[in-house]
Chains A and B, each alone.
Chain A
Amino acid sequence: MDKLIVVLMVAIPAIIVTGLVWVPAISTVILSFTDWNGIGDLGDIKFVGMENFDNVVNNYPPFPPAIQHNLIWLVVFFLGPTLLGIFFAALLDKEIRGSRIYQSIFFLPVVLSLALIGFIWQLIYSRDQGLLNELFGTHVDWYGDPSINLWAVLVAAGWRHTGYIMLLYLAGLKAVDPALREAAAVDGAGEVRTFFQVIWPVMRPVNIVILVITVIESLRAFDIVWVINKGRNGLELISTLVTQNVIGEASRVGFGSALATIMIAISTVFIVIYMIQVVRERR
């Protein structure tokens, strides 16, 4: 009886994951080789080989900016909010007065959904009616000017990401053996040296988690941009391009699936890197 329950407890989630994740993912890859428009029988689907991929790369002006923006998102998130979050965590680990309050303040944006964050910052960034332009008397088109709107959005998204990373890192720091710190203090190491030479190597598993989360959030970036202007005019991302093409009246399912397959391919690169790290660690 127990064995049956264990089998069920593994089988049911496995079926759900296969059905809701793997089957659609493989279908997406298969559909990317067709020109299906979402209407009609599956039997009517015509295969067109690499035509969709050819169109995506050569015949779709929003595509190159989308790839660039996703890469920028990744780099900026890593150099900015992630490092900042680690820094705040290291500071708050000191148990200074009011550290709980600071924690709550930094973590509050994490509780909000990215769509809501898009709304809130819209009130700040709006060209004609926003807080920033009112305060400084400027007429900067934060969301409409394609050369700066991505950076404006990165500030808003990073605002949330910092708190998220901070909390994860803080949890990890609390688990570090205090004896290590004492030993470092006895050896005469200063704050900075203690952190980089002693704490950082010990936090390796948490470091990997932080890195993975940053990569996932960058590739997954979608909600905030969609809420602002559906991912156009300087805010193109691969995720918004997929959505624009597949969902909605446009229903260019074959073409959108090709975009999604490219996204899967990019993610796979990072997954492979991660798996190599994990496997190497096991040994």
Chain B
Amino acid sequence: MMSPRSFGAGGVPAIGRRTLLKGMVGAGALAGLAACGSDDGGSGGGGGGQVTLGSNWSDDVPKKAIAEVMNGFSKGKVKINTIDHNSFQENINNYLQGGPDDVFGWFAGYRMQFFAEQGLVGDVSDVWSTIGSGFSDALKQQSTGKDGKQYFVPLYYYPWAIFYRKSVWQEKGYTPPKTLDELKTLGTKMQADGLTPIAFGDSDGWPAMGTFDYLNLRINGYDFHKSLMAGEKAWNSKEVKTVFDTWRGILPLHQSDSLGRTWQEAAQSLLNKQSGMYTLGMFVGQQFPEGADRDDLDFFPFPEIDSSVGTDAVEAPIDGFMMAKRPRNESGAKDLLKYIGTAKAEDTYLKSDPNNVGTHNDADTSGYSALQKKATQLVSGAKSISQFLDRDTRPDFASTVMIPSLQEFIKNPNDVDSLLTNIEKQKSSIFGG
């Protein structure tokens, strides 16, 4: 006989309150047990020869390339934890303070030195005593922290330069400009031919930094650029003002409405022969389909502006690896880093992801495309290498001050004085007065 309490309206058995509560407690306990149990033996497994790797190479091509590299490690097993590229960077503070993997991917330059200074990453100078002979001095310098110890092992880099399509230039009879004046003349010619001279897409905020960096390097030199990035020079100095004034002079040659365009869309305009050239990193090749289009891609170094400064500085961000401050498997982590610092590891990576160039002196360039060979020549011939604004300076300054300020400049290139004063004031509050 069904009691009135057993059935609610509509004939569905009504659950009593107590049963419901007991059920919820039970389900909660199960969930808790499941969470505890799913920790798959990664912890406490130090001596078993397993090294954990935190990887932000989350897109298909780089992900496969990293897996291939790790497969070639002979001294143990590597457990790769792949995290979405942007999320990894955004959560890096929490990651480093909350028990990171033994080895993880990161970038050279100030961004690396910043964490080394905070004591969040491990010293790998002894790894460098083994692998150091394979790298140029410039590369070693980019891997060294402020205290003179090394904290970083490079894997590959990609230069920034001005890219163009060979076929279009041959057809229209253009030649790569060597100076800024030649660039302006070429730009005017392109406009007359119906092309947009320089593609430009700054909706993400960072692409414009490449143009700024090169203008600063060419006008004021590498040492000034480095000091400016380190917060040691004033942004409202006349040197920096000259950079922006020069930029204003060539801004009309760039694609208009750049703040609503992504770099991918701007690269598409280069691919579709609507733009003549594009100041970007070598990763622009990712937007060109493999085959005839990608082979048609070529570059020339950013032109000279001041003959006393020349063009021996190259902007080439370096990607590589660092070690956690207290890795669970320190000897394994150092062995892995020694392996990564060999030419063999780099060759394995570049076979699957050819949009970059190896950092090792002995990296096998025989399989390189013409573009990669040219890029290698460009960087190995560089007297100084810069890393890109958001890797050469404090991350909070780069993202919360420089991105809005550069976008403001592009919107409103005439009011440089108040813009630079604002940047300088904000810089003082961040770097500390």
The distance in angstroms between the C-alpha atoms of A47 and B97, with both chains bound, is 22
Q: Which residues of A contact B426 (CB under 8 A)?
A: 55, 59-60
Q: How far is the CB of B128 from chain A (nearest CB, A)?
A: 25
Q: Which of B258-266, B337-345, B361-369 contacts A (4 or more CB under 8 A)?
A: B258-266
A207 within 8 A of B: no
B246 within 8 A of A: no
A39 within 8 A of B: yes
User: Across the interface, do A59 and B425 meet the contact criterion of CB distance under 8 Å?
Assistant: yes
User: Across the interface, do A251 and B395 meet the contact criterion of CB distance under 8 Å?
Assistant: yes
User: Across the interface, do A144 and B120 meet the contact criterion of CB distance under 8 Å?
Assistant: no
User: Across the interface, do A39 and B118 meet the contact criterion of CB distance under 8 Å?
Assistant: yes
Q: Which residues of A contact B204 (CB under 8 A)?
A: 229-230
**Closest chain B residue to A128 by CB distance?**
B265
The distance in angstroms between the C-alpha atoms of A53 and B287, with both chains bound, is 43
User: Across the interface, do B408 and A61 meet the contact criterion of CB distance under 8 Å?
Assistant: yes
A143 partner, pick from B17, B18, B260, B407, beta carbons under 8 A = B260
Given contact pairs A141-B259, A245-B396, A250-B400, enumerate 5 new A-B contacts (beta carbons under 8 Å). Answer: A38-B94, A126-B265, A143-B203, A233-B203, A252-B396
User: Across the interface, do A39 and B120 meet the contact criterion of CB distance under 8 Å?
Assistant: yes
User: With A128-B261, A143-B260, A144-B258 given, is the CB distance from A232 to B21 under 8 Å?
Assistant: no
User: Across the interface, do A249 and B90 meet the contact criterion of CB distance under 8 Å?
Assistant: yes
Q: Which residues of B contact A252 (CB under 8 A)?
A: 396, 400, 430
Please report whether the interface of chain A is mostly helix, strand, loop or mixed according to DSSP.
Answer: loop
The distance in angstroms between the C-alpha atoms of A244 and B118, with both chains bound, is 22
User: Across the interface, do A229 and B89 meet the contact criterion of CB distance under 8 Å?
Assistant: no
Q: How far is the CB of A92 from chain B (nearest CB, A)?
A: 28
B47 within 8 A of A: no
B371 within 8 A of A: no
Interface residues of B (CB under 8 A from A): 17-18, 21, 89-94, 97, 111, 118, 120, 203-205, 257-261, 265, 268-269, 395-396, 399-400, 403-405, 407-408, 411, 422, 425-426, 429-430
User: Across the interface, do B260 and A144 meet the contact criterion of CB distance under 8 Å?
Assistant: yes
Sorted nearest first, the 8 A-B pairs with minimum C-beta distance are: A144-B260, A249-B395, A141-B257, A248-B90, A250-B396, A141-B260, A144-B259, A143-B260
Q: Which residues of A contact B403 (CB under 8 A)?
A: 232
User: Across the interface, do A250 and B399 meet the contact criterion of CB distance under 8 Å?
Assistant: yes
Q: Which residues of B contact A60 (CB under 8 A)?
A: 426
Residue interface mask A7-47, B partner, CB < 8 A = 1: 00000000000000000000000000000011110000000
Q: Which residues of A contact B268 (CB under 8 A)?
A: 128
The distance in angstroms between the C-alpha atoms of A62 and B430, with both chains bound, is 16
User: Across the interface, do B400 and A245 meet the contact criterion of CB distance under 8 Å?
Assistant: yes
Interface residues of A (CB under 8 A from B): 5, 37-40, 51, 55, 59-62, 126-129, 139, 141-146, 149, 229-230, 232-233, 244-245, 247-252, 255
* Most chain A beta carbons < 10 A, residue from B89, B90, B91, B396: B396
Please report whether the interface of chain B is mostly helix, strand, loop or mixed according to DSSP.
Answer: helix
A145 partner, pick from B91, B257, B269, B400, beta carbons under 8 A = B257
User: Across the interface, do A233 and B407 meet the contact criterion of CB distance under 8 Å?
Assistant: yes
User: Across the interface, do B257 and A127 meet the contact criterion of CB distance under 8 Å?
Assistant: yes
**Closest chain A residue to B390 by CB distance?**
A249
The distance in angstroms between the C-alpha atoms of A233 and B411, with both chains bound, is 9
Q: How far is the CB of B96 from chain A (nearest CB, A)?
A: 8
* Most chain A beta carbons < 10 A, residue from B93, B425, B426: B93
Q: Which residues of B contact A126 (CB under 8 A)?
A: 265
User: Across the interface, do A55 and B400 meet the contact criterion of CB distance under 8 Å?
Assistant: no
User: Across the interface, do B395 and A61 meet the contact criterion of CB distance under 8 Å?
Assistant: no
Could you give 22 example pairs across A and B, Cβ below 8 Å?
Answer: A5-B18, A39-B97, A39-B118, A55-B429, A59-B425, A61-B404, A61-B422, A127-B257, A127-B260, A129-B265, A139-B257, A229-B204, A230-B205, A232-B403, A232-B404, A247-B90, A248-B90, A249-B93, A249-B399, A250-B399, A250-B400, A251-B93
A249 partner, pick from B89, B257, B269, B422, beta carbons under 8 A = B89
**Closest chain A residue to B410 by CB distance?**
A233
User: Across the interface, do A232 and B265 meet the contact criterion of CB distance under 8 Å?
Assistant: no
Q: Which residues of B contact A128 (CB under 8 A)?
A: 261, 265, 268-269
A62 partner, pick from B89, B90, B97, B404, beta carbons under 8 A = B404
* Most chain A beta carbons < 10 A, residue from B92, B268, B403: B403
Q: Which residues of A contact B404 (CB under 8 A)?
A: 61-62, 232-233
The distance in angstroms between the C-alpha atoms of A141 and B255, with both chains bound, is 12
Q: Which residues of B contact A139 (CB under 8 A)?
A: 257
User: Across the interface, do B261 and A38 meet the contact criterion of CB distance under 8 Å?
Assistant: no
The distance in angstroms between the C-alpha atoms of A255 and B429, with both chains bound, is 10
User: Across the interface, do A229 and B90 meet the contact criterion of CB distance under 8 Å?
Assistant: no
**Closest chain A residue to B120 by CB distance?**
A39
Q: Which residues of A contact B257 (CB under 8 A)?
A: 127, 139, 141, 144-145
